[in-house]
Each structure stands twice: as structure tokens, then as C-alpha cells.
Amino acid sequence: MTLLHWAIISPFLFAILIPFLYKAMRQVHTGWFVLLLPVALFSYFIQFMPVTSDGKAIKETAEWMPSFDINFTAYVDGLGLLFALLITGIGSLVVLYSIYYLDKKREQLHNFYVYLMMFMGAMLGVVLSDNLIVLYMFWEFTSISSFLLIGYWYHRERSRYGALKSMLITVFGGLSMLGGFILLYLMGGTFSIRELISQSDLLMNEALFIPAMLLVLLGAFTKSAQFPFHIWLPDAMEAPTPVSAYLHSATMVKAGIYLVARMSPIFAETSLWLWLVGGFGIFTLFWGSFNAVKQTDLKAILAFSTVSQLGLIMSLLGVGAAALHYTHLDDNIYMVATLAAVFHLINHATFKGSLFMVAGIVDHETGTRDIRKLGGLMSFMPITFTIAIIGAFSMAGLPPFNGFLSKEMFFTGMVRVLEMDIFSLDTAGIIFPVLAWVGSVFTFIYSMILVFKTFTGEHQPEKLEKKPHEAPLGMLISPIILASLVVVFGFFPNILSERIIAPAVAAITPSLVEEGHEIKAHISFWHGPTPELFMTFGVILFGILLYHLLPKWKKVYSWRPERLSLNSIYDGVLVRGERAASSFTKGYMTGFIRSYLVYIFAFFIGIALFGLWYKGAFAVNTVELAPIGIYEVAIALLLVISSLTTLFAKSRLTSIISLGAAGYTVSLFFVLFRAPDLALTQLVIETVSVALFLLCFYHLPKMSRHETRVKFKIENAVIAVGVGIVVTLFAISSYSTKLFKSISSYYIENVYEVAHGKNMVNVILVDFRGFDTLFEICVLAIASLGIYSMIKLRLTRRKEG
Amino acid sequence: MKTKTNDVILQTVTNVVAFMILLFSLRIFFVGHYTPGGGFIGGLMTSGAIVLLLLAYDIKTVANILPVDYKILTAIGLLFAVGTSAGALVFDVPFLTHAYGEFNLPLLGETGLHTAVLFDTGVYLVVIGVTMTIIQTIGVSE
């Protein structure tokens, strides 16, 4: 365990302290203590920047389960560091914001910060682990802590619904991801991502390669809310706004992005990867932005916008994989897609974080987030308005903010798809730029809705719960910092490029770096009159047009019936699944012993017959058969008659008597087959059991003592006959296939020499195999004590005795 | 209660026969190592004799004649069986190893003694205890 390991798990350790701090110092907001840790971690991680910008990586291993190849290996490279800085940096700002957002008297702060710290530690673990299983462990920690945070206001029904939904979807993806990891382990023989990457050429040809890729992608898509798994994200907006800002815009949803980026060196060579990641990404971009426009809740707009932006990053990562196929290009023009993905990742974290905080402020100061009730807040909260306009314009991709730059690079990447001559991208690839452009138009529209419907227009004080006013300064600090970053990155994008973006891109495309391609991360503000620029003009033009005509075409959204939405499909699947499971269980768990016996016997017949047939085990061998005498035949007939009488007798008394007859006949068999001990015992025991049967019979309740014949049921008959046949077949074949001789000769030889007895049965019972007898008498003792206590101990009976 | 009937014949026969059954059961128990019989059937027959007494007399009378708590008898029987088995451990041989030897006893003369009989005694006592517990419990339960 090095300092790096302690840094990764420090949030977990700190989480233990939080409840004590909360109890001990009620007058201070617990958030102030919590704030120290992410700030310290941020300054710790920023020290790694010189190392990673040199293209080096730090790897520290702490042994955990070495025999299973599961070790806590911390690995810091450009990509991991970028995420670690995002997590701790935005984490600090979110904690600061939450201090003013959450009331220290009314809220259960200890819960909140424990969950939040758990989440932060889990995210750090995800992005800094080199071992797949450790990564998976931290991955599930993020799912669990996110579940707890979404359900933070657990008394609200919507919160619980959202928490459950996100849990089900992300854990579903997480488990499939685990399956993918295990397949990777089976192919590569190691859980280490580094080592897997080094043998990625070999992995390509394995049969399990595609299944592993699909499973891992399923995990990544569910986590980062790609279509059609995005449905949990809008419902996760029931969480407190700091949580939404942190988890559902800046960090957790990017875990899927991280995973795709991290796994790119292993999987990206195949065409399927490009089409899946790129295709799902670009469609998610379109779908998210299209649906964002119809939302009326500020956070719902932001949620769909997050979905859409994540799709954007995902599509860039997918298209960026094309760079691997053009290693001959001196200036690899497809690297720009990966570059844009990393750059937009940072930009999105800054502007979306600030926008969520703005939404939180509006909610906090007016009491609603519904844009139909809001309006004209510009003069009441000028600072919030400024922040919102910066964030929204950046999101829409307008100059001079950072969103503009990454949007331009995004268009560049998408347009260049058309120049590719692989995987039929030059023809079908047209969907990439088209969907990208359409999605951007919708992005523009909802960004404008977000700002102008909230802050301009008519002020409607009668609809608001509170009188709006500017937020306290403390609440504004974090969004101000984020908004200034938006502006700073917009004007000086190159302060990031060499230090952060280039190492991250190098981590995503290590094979290209090995071949000597230099990562040219220089981001220029002005490209000249390129197609991308005209696309942006088009976006702005059409965006403004459609924004103004919004009331006219909003009907589009009502064309699609609610029944067919993905949410109702999800709900339907859950409800139907529950109903189906319940009716299935109710169907076969009848509560009648008869049914269960039918299952047991039917299964027995099935499996036994199948076994006989499958192994070809049935055999008849008449060589060793003994001759049949007249006595045996007579007694056997007697036995058959008494058994049939037992079955078909009308009265129970007859059944009991014929059962006794069968028992005595069996003892005759024992006599005939020379087993005197058995015959003696059988006689006495049969007498006792018949006497007990009669006792039971005598005490039957008068009401149900209808003397009716056993009802004939065809399935009972079939099963009974089946069991009889199966047992007979087994007896015949086992008798016919004796593989070795009996060991009884040993007993015969040694019964007197060793055991000093002449009754072999008794000697076996008390000497050779006395151990069995010991426990058989225990069984008897338990039975008698059981009867005694059943009869004597009647706690439910009243006192009448 | 039913009216008291005079079953003097039954009782008189029982007085004689019960002892014969008892003796026969003891015999079957003791010869078990050499001829058919042993603790199990011996125990069953002994309890058969007691059941006969129960039929002829009532439970209280039999309890006076044989003041035995059959549950404790079961326990003693188990103790015999386990004790015999565990006794082997004292002599550094595996659990349930029996020993046999010829002894010159004062009254019986040269006699073969076998620890298996002690084990069988356990079986015998348990069987009596179990059977009688069941029958007595059910008989009294009404």
C-alpha cells in the first residue's frame, strides 16, 4: 500500500469519520469538514501532471488476492489522471455548493456526505485501477452509492422509483461487464488491463473476443446512459441537485465513457466496435437532444442534455477508432475525433456542472423548476443569469466558449468519417454528420429554452412559492468557478492541451504512440472557412428559426403515443415480469402435498428413464437367476392380492388389515429366503404398526370419516405405474450387470475367527458395522421422544387438559 | 369409565405367560451372537410381555409393578452403546472395536465374554424404552 492507494481509498476511510463529526459538532455544517478531503486529493493528483505529460505512467501494486491474480494495482496515466482531477475538482466544488444548498438542521447530512464520499472513492478506484476485478468492484460501489444518493429523500415515492430504476439498469450492465471481464481473463490469462493491451493482437483472433466486447460495451452503455438505457438518468433527477451535478453530469455517467476509452486499445481494431460505439453514440446524441426540447422541468432538460452530450463523446470515441486503420498517414487526421472526445469530456463537466448548480439555485430561490412557471428572473438574479447564459451558450456550441471549440472538432471528426474507405463508412457513414448536425440543432434549441424561458420573458410571481432573490454568495462560488473555467478554456484551450489532453489521447491510442505518431493536441480557435464552420452557422440559423417557431411544431412530440415510450416499456417489463413470476410460482406451488409428490415422482421417472436410455444401461441377464419354487410363487401371489386389496378397498379398515397381511407375507418371504432375524423382527414390527394404524383409524374425526374408495385420477395412475416400471427396470438391469463379486465372503470367513460369533447378521449389526446400529437406536430414541413431546406438549390447547 | 369386568382368567394367564415371554426374550437376547435373535428382537419381546401386563391390568398397576421411567431407560441404553464403543478408545484402538476373551468365572466356569454383548444390551434397553414410551404415551393421552 503506497500513498497512492491510500489516496484512492481515503474517501471511504473518511466516510467512517463523518457521522462522528456530525454528532460531535452540530453547530458547524458537516460539509466544511468534508470539503478538506477532495481539495487535498485534487492538489495531490495535480502533482502527477508533470509525470503524465511526459508520456509516463505510475503503477503501484498492493497485493490483495495474488493467487487469483486480483491485486489492487493503481495505475496513473493521462486518462486516469484526467478523470481523477475531474472527480476531485468537481467533487470539491460540489461539496462547497452543497454546504449552502442543504440545510444543516433539516437534512440528514451525515448520510449525504457518507454516500458522497463513498461515491468519490469508488469513482477514483474505477479510473485508477489497472485490475479488471478491482475496477469492477469500484464500479459496483458507484452503482450502490449512486442508488443511495438518488434515494436520499427516501420518503418521496419518485426518489425511490428513480433509485430503483438506476440500480436495476446499471447493475444489469455492471454484471454483464463482469462477464466480459471474465471472458477477457479466459482469453488473455490476466486481469491486468496493461497486459491485456499488450496482447491485443492475439485476443483479436479468439472466438470469445466479440462476446467479451459486447458485454463490456453493455456495461459502459448502461452506465453512461446510452440509448436505450438512458431512461434511468431523467428519473435520477430526484436526487438533491448537488448529486445531479456531480454524479449525473460530471462523473458517474462518464464512467462508461472512461471504460470505452480504456478498453479502446483492446477492442478498437474491429469494425463492430466503430459501428457500435459510434452508432449508438450518435443516435443517443440525436435522441437525447430531440427529447430534451419537450421537457418542462429544468433538471429534466439537463438530464436529456447530459444523455445527448454523452452520446456525442461516445460517438467521437467510436469514430476515433478509425485512426488505428490509417497508421500510414503522417498527420493522422482521424486522431481529431479522440482529441475532441477528451476535450469535450472536460468541457461538458464544466458547463453541465455549472448549469445543474444554476438549476439548483433557481429551484432553491423560487421553489419550482418548472419552466412554465418561471420567467423574467433576469433582474432578480443577475449573477445566476450570467452563469446560465455562459453555460448554455457553451453547451449550444457558440463562440467564444469552450463548447464551441469542441463542437467544431466534433463536426470535423464526423465529416471526416466520409473520407474513410473502410467498413463501408464512405456510404453508410453519412448518418454520422447528418445526425450530428440535426442533434446539434436541437441542442441549440434546448439550450436557448433553458436560458430564455427561465430568465427572460414575463415574471409570474403568483405561480412561485417564494419571492425570488439572488442566491447567497457561497452557493454562487462553485458555479462561478465552473463558468470562469468555461470562458478560460474557451479563450485559452491550449493550457489544457499539452498537459492533460495529449496524455489522455495517448492513453486511449497507445499503439499509435508506439509507432511514433506525435499527438498534436494544439487546438486552434480559428480554422478558416471549413465545412464545420458552415455547419455551425447552419446550426445557429436553424436553431434560432426553430426556437421561434417552437409552439407551432411542438405537436410533433405528441405523435408518439406514451404507451410506446421506452419508460413504459421498462415499466411494462417490470410489471409483466413480476406478474409472470408470481403467476408461475402460484401455478406450481399449489400448497398441496399431492402436487409436489407428482413433481417429485415425475421428475424421478424422467431423469431415471433418460439416464437408462442415455447410458444404454438397460440389460437383462438370466444366467445367475435362481430356480423359482412353488412357495415363492404362492407367497408372491398373496402379496400381490393383499397389495391390490389395500389399493382398491372401500373402507380404510380393510386397507389396514390387508396392509398387515402384506407385512406378514413379507415376513414369510424372509423365512423362505432364510433370514430368521428379519422374519422375527418383521413379524413383531408389523404387529405394532398395524396396532398403531388402528389407533389412528379409531381417532379419525367423525366429520370426514366418509368411507369412500380412493378416487381414480389418471395422472396418479400414470405416475404410479411409471415409478413401478422404472424401479423394476432398474432392479433388473442392476441385477443383470454385476460388475464385481460381493464382499460377503469376508464376513462368512471371519465371523468366528475375528468376531467370535456365529449369527452373522447379529455380528454385522453389533460388531462389523455397529456404527450404523448406534445411530439407528438414536433414531428410535428421537422418534419416541418426538411422540412423547407431541402428545404431552400442547401449548396451543387451552387449560382444560 | 366402563363398568368393571371380571377378567380373572386373563389376569391369571398373564401372570404365568408374561414370565415365559420374558424368559424367552432374555434367551433370544443372550443367544443372539450365535443363533437368530439379539438385542432388537429381544427388546421387542420384553416390551411385548409388558404390553400383555398392560392389557390385563391398568397402567397404574403396571407402573407399580415396574417402577421404570422408560425415557430414562432409553437414555441408559444409549449410554451403554456409546460407552462400549467409546471404551475402545481407552485402549488405543479405533472407536467401536470389540474385545473377546475366555474367563474363568466363579460360578459359570470357563466362559467366553464379548463386549459386543454390552453393546447389544444398549440396543435391548433402547428398544424396550422406545416401545414402552410410545405405547404408554399414546395409551394415557386420551
- pLDDT tens for A731-787 read 988 888 877 888 888 888 888 888 888 888 888 888 888 889 999 999 999 999 998
Q: Which of A50-64, A71-85, A170-184, A653-667 has the lowest mean pLDDT?
A: A50-64
- Average pLDDT score over chain A: 85
> Helix crossing, A298-320 with A335-366: angle to 10°?
170
Quote the pLDDT of residue A801.
44
**SS3 category, B56:** helix
Closest Cα in chain A to B36: A677
Mean pLDDT on A100-111: 84
* Buried-exposed string A586-613: b where 16+ CB fall within 10 A, e elsewhere: eeeeeeeeeeeebeebeeebeebbeebe
How many residues does this entry show for chain A? 801
- pLDDT tens for A309-357 read 999 999 988 888 877 776 665 566 677 888 888 888 989 998 999 999 9
pLDDT band at A605 (very low <50, low <70, confident <90, very high): very high
CB A275 within 8 A of CB A306: no
Give contacts of B37 with chain A, Cβ < 8 Å: 677, 680, 759, 762
Contact: B36, A759; criterion CB under 8 Å: yes
Phi, psi angles (nearest 5°) of residue B112: -85, 125
**Secondary structure letter of residue A129 according to DSSP:** B
Task: Give alpha helix (H) positions in A189-250.
Answer: 193-198, 200-204, 209-223, 232-235, 241-245
Contact: B134, A781; criterion CB under 8 Å: no
Is the pLDDT at A666 greater than 90, yes or no?
yes
Nearest to A278 by CA among A384, A417, A146, A74: A417
Distance CA A592, CA A597 (A): 9
Rg of chain B over all Cα atoms, to the nearest angstrom: 18
| CB interface of B with A, residues 24-83, below 8 Å | 28, 31-41, 44-45, 48, 71, 74-75, 77-78, 81-82
* Buried-exposed string A539-578: b where 16+ CB fall within 10 A, e elsewhere: bbebbeebbeeeeeeeeeeeeeeeeeeeeeebeeeeeeee
Residue A385: all three cell numbers together: 443569469
Q: Which of A105-119, A213-227, A339-353, A423-437 has the lowest mean pLDDT?
A: A423-437
Is the pLDDT at B5 greater than 50, yes or no?
yes
> Which is more confident, A467 or A641?
A641
SS3 content of chain A, % helix, strand, coil (to 5): 75, 0, 25
| CB interface of B with A, residues 86-115, below 8 Å | 95-96, 98, 100, 112, 114
Distance CA A92, CA A768 (A): 77
pLDDT band at A562 (very low <50, low <70, confident <90, very high): low
Contact: A684, B45; criterion CB under 8 Å: yes
SS3 content of chain B, % helix, strand, coil (to 5): 70, 10, 20
The complex scores an ipTM of: 0.92
Quote the pLDDT of residue A706.
59
pTM of the model: 0.82
- pLDDT tens for A366-403 read 888 888 888 777 788 888 888 989 999 998 888 788 88
- Which single residue is written with the C-alpha cell 485402549? B91
Mean pLDDT on A160-178: 92
The neighbour count for residue A787, using CB atoms within 10 Å, is 18
Quote the pLDDT of residue B1.
45
Mean pLDDT on B76-81: 92
Of B38, B40, B126, which has the smallest distance from its Cβ to A781's Cβ?
B126
Quote the pLDDT of residue A12.
92
Quote the pLDDT of residue A784.
92
Helix and strand totals (H; E) in chain B: 5, 2
How many residues does this entry show for chain B? 142
Contact: B100, A756; criterion CB under 8 Å: yes
